[in-house]
Structure 1
Amino acid sequence: MRDMEERITLKGSRDGLRLILHPTAAWAEVLEALRKQLAQGPSFYHGAKLLIDVGERSITDVELQAILAIMAEHDIEPAALITIAPTNRTTGRQAGVETRHPDSLRSTPPPVVQGEGLFLWRTVRSGQAIRHQGHIVVVGDVNAGAEISAHGSVIIWGRLRGSVHAGVGGNQQAIVCALELRPTLLRIADNLARTPDNHRPTGPEQASLDGDNIVVVPWDAPRR
């Protein structure tokens, strides 16, 4: 059986958060994979705009409406339907979703967001959500089930096990640092990553963007 993670891919790029569907996976499997992915961090995706990339796969009105319904449960808006198949243009138009060819996507550098920092000297526990317009510094742990969201960078002087979104609004210069960097979900600007199961931090680490990819290196690694 195909692994769940292969049925859909959620990744970020300079064009925004992008949902890529497997070209041949059963539709029920695709929907179930999407539900499980979004359920891992409901507030993490809340208010996001999502590019639905179906590639060459034909999609019916009923199928598209099923995806839109799941997205609506998490307050996620469709940015566009990315497709190569001409028949999908009608499907998107009927659903009120813009359709675009993959070649039409353009990368534009987003503005750098600046603001005052928020300093917290405590543990952020499961179920708690911290949001701030500038940078966030936490002296303490961020437990699994907790969420941190900042327009700037996020610095955790402790263990990071929860979900973090740095660079909200498209700040690609934002970074995420922690003494133990093992987030459930990690997002910088519109780029999304999950911590591999075999990742075992050996000391403080920092995550930043390298092109469209999130890279993690030791804190004392030479700066680029």
Structure 2
Amino acid sequence: MSDLMSIKGGRDGLRIRFDDSAEWGLLLEQLEQQLNQNQAFFNGASLALDVGERTLTTEQLTHLLNLLQHHGVVAEALSAGARETRNAARTAGVTARPLPRYPDSSPQVSPDAEALLLIRTVRSGQVLRHSGHITLIGDVNPGGELIAGGSVVVWGRLRGFVHAGALGNVDAIVCAMELRPTQIRIAEQFATTPQEAGPHRPEVARIAGAQIVVESWEAFKK
């Protein structure tokens, strides 16, 4: 996301990790900037917060939670090393956890560093959201949603909503064995599936010339 915070995704959802040495007001400013720039990715998301060893007052934490709520984001849990911060989180009704262990102490910036592989069906009303790439072995039914910061690969039928490059990555692509989404978005570009669908074959969608183009897998490989 920035040099002061990082976002990671996994099977348990999204986690935002803050640099605990940065000035708190600057962190909130950059967080609000990211929320404004990436509304399509964050709106409706639930996530966990990691504030490191920082001690937050109830007022500071309330400001953070209100900022997230204003942008349609729910904070489900908070990890902190300081007992005072965890107590403030519990007072605010947020699940508080001890600080998780990381292999190093510095935030990792690249949202595409981790890919998510799942074997399942995404049914109507379900949303699968990840900060990096998503590979799904299964189908996305109409009414289901895939939202990824990176590329999306579906080894099956993609017939719901898909948004690749939701954190602004214009090089992201969408691949599926049967690419028939109700709407497809890559970064800020979007398109809908033609009513007269062609033959079912593996296809790739990408941005070319400021618009989304769809081509067969064989043509894309050349």
State the TM-score, normalizing by the size of structure 1.
0.51
Q: Quick one: which amino acid aligns to residue 3 of structure 2?
A: E
- Find out whether 1:61 has 2:78 as its counterpart: no
Structure with the greater alpha carbon radius of gyration? 2
In 1, the alpha carbon distance for the partners of 2:62 and 2:40 equals 22
- Could you say which residue in structure 1 is the equivalent of 2:152? none
- Could you say which residue in structure 2 is the equivalent of 1:132? 143
1:161–1:181 contact (8 Å) kept in structure 2:
no
Report the Cα offset of residue 11 of structure 1: 2.2
Report the Cα offset of residue 110 of structure 1: 6.8
In 1, the alpha carbon distance for the partners of 2:79 and 2:143 equals 32
Output one character per residue of 1:141-171: Cα deviation in whole Å (capped at 9) or x when no partner.
Answer: x9x99xxxxxx96779x9934279xxxxxxx
Report the Cα offset of residue 79 of structure 1: 1.0
Q: Quick one: which amino acid aligns to residue 112 of structure 1?
A: R
Report the Cα offset of residue 76 of structure 1: 1.0
Percent of matched pairs sharing the same residue: 28
Aligned residue among 43, 48, 51 for 1:51: 48
- Find out whether 1:112 has 2:120 as its counterpart: yes
Output one character per residue of 1:10-36: Cα deviation in whole Å (capped at 9) or x when no partner.
Answer: 221232111111111111110110111
Q: Quick one: which amino acid aligns to residue 6 of structure 1?
A: D
In 2, the alpha carbon distance for the partners of 1:67 and 1:155 equals 39
Alignment of 1:192-203 (within 5 A): none
In 2, the alpha carbon distance for the partners of 1:59 and 1:83 equals 9
- Could you say which residue in structure 1 is the equivalent of 2:73? 76
Query: Which runs of 5 or more residues in structure 1 are unaligned?
Result: 117-130, 146-151, 165-175, 184-203, 207-218
In 1, the alpha carbon distance for the partners of 2:31 and 2:204 equals 28
Greater shift, 39-48 or 77-86, is seen at 39-48
RMSD, aligned CA: 4.4
Sort the Cα spacing of 1:101 and 1:160 in 2 relative to 1 into closer, same or farther, 3 A: same
1:46–1:75 contact (8 Å) kept in structure 2:
yes
1:155–1:177 contact (8 Å) kept in structure 2:
no
In 2, the alpha carbon distance for the partners of 1:19 and 1:101 equals 15
2:79–2:100 contact (8 Å) kept in structure 1:
no
Report the Cα offset of residue 84 of structure 1: 1.9
Output one character per residue of 1:82-115: Cα deviation in whole Å (capped at 9) or x when no partner.
Answer: 11222222111111111012449xxxx9771245
In 2, the alpha carbon distance for the partners of 1:137 and 1:44 equals 16
2:144–2:160 contact (8 Å) kept in structure 1:
no
Aligned residue among 181, 188, 192 for 1:162: 188
- Find out whether 1:41 has 2:38 as its counterpart: yes
Sort the Cα spacing of 1:101 and 1:37 in 2 relative to 1 into closer, same or farther, 3 A: same
Alignment of 1:15-26 (within 5 A): 15-26=12-23
In 2, the alpha carbon distance for the partners of 1:181 and 1:14 equals 32
What SS class does the counterpart of residue 51 from structure 2 fall into?
strand
Sort the Cα spacing of 1:15 and 1:115 in 2 relative to 1 into closer, same or farther, 3 A: closer
- Could you say which residue in structure 2 is the equivalent of 1:32? 29
In 1, the alpha carbon distance for the partners of 2:68 and 2:87 equals 20
1:61–1:91 contact (8 Å) kept in structure 2:
yes
Q: How many residues align?
A: 147
State the TM-score, normalizing by the size of structure 2.
0.52
